[in-house]
Amino acid sequence: MSLSPEKALAYWRANLRIIWTYLAIWFIASYGCGILFVDQLDTIQFFGFPLGFWFAQQGSIFIFVILIWAYVFSTNRLDEKYDVHE
Amino acid sequence: MSIDLLTYLFIGGSFALYIGIAIWARAGSTKEFYVAGGGVHPIANGMATAADWMSAASFISLAGIISFVGRDGSAYLMGWTGGYVMLAMLLAPYLRKFGKFTVPDFVGDRYYSSTARMIAVLCTIVISFTYVAGQMRGVGIVFSRYLHVDVNTGVLLGMAIVFFYAVLGGMKGITYTQVAQYCVLILAFTVPAFFLSAQITGHFLPQIGLGATLGTGQSVLATLDSLSVELGFKAYTDGSKSTIDMVFFTVALMAGTAGLPHVIVRFFTVPRVKDARTSAGWALIFIAILYTSIPGVAGFGRVNLINTINGADNTGTTYTEMPSWFKNWETSGLIGWYDHNGDGKVQYAAGDAFEGSKPAFTEGAGEFGQRLVSNPKMEPAAVNGAPFANEVYVDRDIMVLANPEIANLPAWVIALVAAGAVAAALSTAAGLLLVISTAIAHDMMKKTINPNITDKQELLYARLAAVVSICIAGYFGINPPGFVAQVVALAFGLACASVFPVLLMGIFSKRMNTEGAVTGMLVGLVSTMAYIIYFKFMGGSPDDYFFGISPEGFGTVGMILNFASAFLVSSMTPAPSAEIQAIVENIRIPRGAGQAHAH
């Protein structure tokens, strides 16, 4: 492995930053909108759904799918930037 | 053609397909047996992961649960999909880079300890057996209802099929069979969902249909709310669980999903680290197709069920005029009726119709031809302002299977659903059996007891272990523990409290050592098991719940205790050696996964 320790550390920190960002969105979409603030959001109607209920049973799942793919593209780009891709 | 003939054709045809694939893709080496040679395409792996993951519980039970509990069921939907986000970001790529065959492999090597490895083996086996018992039961239900054979014969038939492709094909056979099974099960779930949605709302997609407005000018969900409240249930879109319990239960399901050994092992089958991430993305897309359809199916099924039983004027339907599905499921013992008010009509509302909620059937038939029961409710009464006392027991598990019949869909749709349910149960059972046999042959025999055995001998042990596990699983299918649902809570709790934290710390903390990991796993395992056993099996009262957290959600507390004790103990004991720290640094960098693979 030709990667210098400094560069490896920088890569790891950048990777952690990506993970934290996406996990924050993951948390807000599921625990935030689907559980903690579900009653407040339910007062808003969204395409025939109470919004909180929609997040809990539909929206959070769509957001999860988008998140994983966003993560795939971000880390692929990061791997190339640090030249650690396969 | 009759429904029976069609069902035979669909199930028989799908079995022939699975066996054909098994013969085409049989395994020759341990590497092929355990991880399919490490050369599976990410899309194929995504489909196989989805089929592996979506069990009889997802296919048969989940829509039924949501249909009956409404918003409280959201924990399952979010938990069983959100876990993949954690898996993709926190575990899968690093474990793939590590490049071994199993979860205990990683735990044993990373924590340089055979004690840690054996605890991981134990967790793997307990979790997987718990799961497999439920799958075999699912196969039994489908066979007994549609093929009119005894449940036991159905289970034996299912065992024979799984035996054939799991033992012969190993991971390679299973992977390609699961791709086929995914296609069967997703068609079987979505086709009736489209029909139902179109029939009730005029929209084909259940994801949109659930929000549609009906002819009455009310939306589907508002209709469900008012129907539920009228009959004494809570409103469909309202929850009854406390917020803290919902949060802890959802975390337990998510972390449990990410820590399930049979799911993790799927990510060892792809060629590169990059592919591990991509296949998690594909897997979640394939899973989301089913999971986002579930709320629609649950809602439409509920409306149909209430309207069919209580009739248009909401006074009940005469038993002799009930459609055939009602009587068919009564024969299977999953629907029960007792005419409390003696009017010959079936009425459905909130409250128990029978003492202890489930009907206990006795021999003989009543005056309308219904099955007799020995435990009708002593003092039946209408509850919460319902117009009448409840007279019916409907098992939640029949909702998906009965839905097409309740909605009068064509016979081939009903046959397709039966084939899909069997595919869902068999694909999961096969994946679990493989994990069990790998844990025994590879982690116990090769790595711990006798490291000198050859590749060929190891493969033989793996196949023997698979045979034994199938027999044990079959035994549980024929003599199901009366507490399958509780045991499943145990499986998720254990995965969440033991496997998930130990893997996470192994990757994200270089400082974590053997002492910390072993303490953490034991603390998580013991605390979670003790809590679940006390409240589920020894009759503990819900009033004594720790902060109101139900046993299903306690895995999250176990996980927190695991982390806390692991960090405490590791801070007081020596750091791991430089080599181990180098291993951790190495798994964090994607490049070079290919070389690390052979062991």
d(CA A18, CA A26): 12
β-partners of residue A72 are: none
Q: Which domain holds residue B517?
A: 3-7+12-304+410-596
Chain A CB contacts of B73 below 8 Å:
57
Q: Which of B406, B430, B460 is the last residue of a domain?
A: B406
Q: Which of B406, B440, B464 is the last residue of a domain?
A: B406
Nearest to B74 among A8, A23, A57 (CB): A57
Own/partner long-range contacts of B198-201 (Cβ < 8 Å, ≥24 apart):
B199/B407, B200/B300, B200/B303, B200/B304, B201/B300
Residues B285 and B387 in one domain: no
Q: Would the pLDDT of B235 be above 80? A: yes
Chain B CB contacts of A79 below 8 Å:
274, 590-591
Q: Would the pLDDT of B373 be above 70? A: yes
Predicted local confidence at residue B595, as pLDDT: 44
Q: What is the mean pLDDT of chain B?
A: 88
**For residue range B513-540, what is the model confidence (pLDDT) as tens digits?**
999 999 999 999 999 989 988 887 787 7
> Which two structure tokens, joined as six digits, stand for B362?
């006795």
On whether any CB of chain B is under 8 Å from the CB of A43, the answer is no
Chain B CB contacts of A8 below 8 Å:
585, 588-589
Residue A14 CA: distances (Å) to CA of A74, B506, B508, B581, B583: 10, 19, 14, 20, 20
Handedness of CA B275, A26, B52, B526 (dihedral sign): positive
CB pairs under 8 A between A and B: 132
Which of A84, A61, A12, A16 has its CA nearest to residue B274?
A: A84
Q: Would the pLDDT of B486 be above 70? A: no
- Does residue A9 lie in a domain region? no
Residues B449 and B587 in one domain: yes
Contact B284 A65 (CB under 8 A): yes
* Residue B337 φ/ψ, nearest 5 degrees: -135, 135
On whether any CB of chain B is under 8 Å from the CB of A78, the answer is no
**For residue range A31-53, what is the model confidence (pLDDT) as tens digits?**
999 999 999 999 999 988 999 99
Determine the distance in angstroms separating the CA of A66 from the nearest CA of chain B, rounded to an integer.
9
- Does residue A73 lie in a domain region? yes
Residues B497 and B371 in one domain: no
Chain B CB contacts of A65 below 8 Å:
281, 284-285, 288
Contact B288 A62 (CB under 8 A): yes
Q: Angle at which helices B168-201 and B399-406 pack, to 10 degrees?
A: 40
Predicted local confidence at residue B158, as pLDDT: 79
How confident is the model over B557-582, as a mean pLDDT? 95
Q: Which of B351, B378, B406 is the last residue of a domain?
A: B406
- Does residue A53 lie in a domain region? yes
Contacts (Cβ under 8 Å, ≥6 apart) of B579: none
| Residues written for chain A | 86
Helices assigned H by DSSP within B41-150: 42-53, 56, 62-69, 74-86, 92-98, 103-110, 114-146
d(CA B599, CA B590): 18
Q: Would the pLDDT of B594 be above 70? A: no
| DSSP structural state of residue B70 | G
Contacts (Cβ under 8 Å, ≥6 apart) of B394: B305, B334, B335, B348
β-partners of residue B213 are: B219
d(CA B445, CA B528): 29
Based on its alpha-carbon atoms, the radius of gyration of chain B, rounded to whole angstroms, reads 25
Residues B395 and B424 in one domain: no
Chain A CB contacts of B82 below 8 Å:
26, 30, 60, 64
Burial B194-215 (b: 16+ CB within 10 A, else e): bbbbeebbebebbbebbbbeee
Question: Other CB atoms closer than 10 Å to residue B454's CB: what's the count?
Answer: 10
Contact B89 A19 (CB under 8 A): yes
Predicted local confidence at residue B485, as pLDDT: 60
Residue B540 Cα to chain centre, angstroms? 26
- Collapsed DSSP state (helix, strand, coil) of residue B371: strand
- Does residue A42 lie in a domain region? yes
Chain B CB contacts of A3 below 8 Å:
589
Contact A72 B278 (CB under 8 A): yes
d(CA B342, CA B241): 36
Contact A22 B590 (CB under 8 A): no
Which of B258, B269, B207 has its CA nearest to residue B53?
A: B258
- Does residue A37 lie in a domain region? yes
On whether any CB of chain B is under 8 Å from the CB of A35, the answer is yes
Based on its alpha-carbon atoms, the radius of gyration of chain A, rounded to whole angstroms, reads 18
Contact A75 B292 (CB under 8 A): no
SS (H, E, C) B518-555: HHHHHHHHHHHHHHHHHHHHCCCCHHHCHHHCCHHHHH
Q: Would the pLDDT of B488 be above 80? A: no
Predicted local confidence at residue B40, as pLDDT: 83
| DSSP structural state of residue B376 | B
On whether any CB of chain B is under 8 Å from the CB of A9, the answer is no
d(CA B208, CA B289): 13
Residue B15 CA: distances (Å) to CA of B11, B159, B160, B162, B165: 6, 12, 11, 10, 11
Residue B367 Cα to chain centre, angstroms? 40
Q: Which chain B residue lies closest to A11 (C-alpha atoms)?
A: B589
d(CA B264, CA B269): 10
Beta strands in B214-367 (DSSP E): 317-318, 335-337, 345-346, 361-365
Residues B290 and B347 in one domain: no
B168, B26 Cβ separation under 8 angstroms? yes
* Residue B372 φ/ψ, nearest 5 degrees: -85, 150
Chain B CB contacts of A80 below 8 Å:
none
Predicted local confidence at residue B597, as pLDDT: 43
Predicted local confidence at residue B1, as pLDDT: 67
Amino acid at B68: F
Confidence of residue A9 (pLDDT cuts 50, 70, 90): very high
Residues B297 and B318 in one domain: no
B221, B210 Cβ separation under 8 angstroms? yes
Nearest to B82 among A30, A47, A58 (CB): A30
Contact B247 A54 (CB under 8 A): no
Contacts (Cβ under 8 Å, ≥6 apart) of B299: B67, B210, B220, B221, B224, B236
In chain B, residues 13-72 whose CB comes closer than 8 Å to chain A: 66, 71
> Which two structure tokens, joined as six digits, stand for B149?
């054979």
Contacts (Cβ under 8 Å, ≥6 apart) of B439: B102, B104, B121, B124, B125, B128, B261
Contact A15 B274 (CB under 8 A): no
Q: Which domain holds residue A76?
A: 25-81
Contact A61 B291 (CB under 8 A): yes
Residues B454 and B429 in one domain: yes
Q: Which chain B residue lies closest to A36 (C-alpha atoms)?
A: B243
A37 CB-contact burial (10 Å; exposed 0-12 / middle 13-18 / buried 19+) = middle
Contacts (Cβ under 8 Å, ≥6 apart) of B156: B474, B478
> Which two structure tokens, joined as six digits, stand for B419?
């084939």
> Which of B76-80, B279-283, B440-444 shows the lowest mean pLDDT across its residues?
B440-444
Nearest to B277 among A11, A31, A72 (CB): A72
Contact A84 B89 (CB under 8 A): no
Residues B508 and B558 in one domain: yes
If one counts the domains in chain A, the total is 1
If one counts the domains in chain B, the total is 2
| Residues written for chain B | 599
Contact A64 B288 (CB under 8 A): yes
Residue B185 CA: distances (Å) to CA of B47, B182, B240, B402: 11, 5, 32, 16
Amino acid at B584: V
- Does residue A10 lie in a domain region? no
Burial B239-253 (b: 16+ CB within 10 A, else e): bebeeebbbbbbbbb
d(CA B89, CA A65): 13
- Collapsed DSSP state (helix, strand, coil) of residue B374: coil
> Best of B589, B595, B597 to disrupt the A interface by mutation (most A CBs within 10 Å)?
B589
- Does residue A1 lie in a domain region? no
Position with higher pLDDT, A80 vs B156? A80
- Does residue A5 lie in a domain region? no
CATH number at residue B517: 1.20.1730.10
Position with higher pLDDT, B75 vs B146? B75
- Collapsed DSSP state (helix, strand, coil) of residue B259: coil
Chain A CB contacts of B74 below 8 Å:
34-35, 53, 56-57
Predicted local confidence at residue B318, as pLDDT: 93
Residues B229 and B365 in one domain: no
Q: Which chain A residue lies closest to B280 (C-alpha atoms)?
A: A68
Residues B422 and B511 in one domain: yes
**For residue range B456-480, what is the model confidence (pLDDT) as tens digits?**
888 888 888 888 888 888 887 777 6
Q: Would the pLDDT of B148 be above 90? A: no
On whether any CB of chain B is under 8 Å from the CB of A21, the answer is no
Position with higher pLDDT, B118 vs B39? B118
Residues B165 and B251 in one domain: yes
How confident is the model over B41-70, as a mean pLDDT? 90
Q: Which helix (H) or strand (E) holds B372?
A: strand B371-373
Based on DSSP, count helices (H) and strands (E) in chain B, helices before strands. Answer: 26, 6
Residues B219 and B340 in one domain: no
Question: Other CB atoms closer than 10 Å to residue B299's CB: what's the count?
Answer: 29
- Residue B267, CB-side half-sphere exposure with 13 Å CA sphere: 32
d(CA B329, CA B339): 17
Tokens 């974590």: give the residue. B512
d(CA B151, CA B166): 22
d(CA B159, CA B154): 9
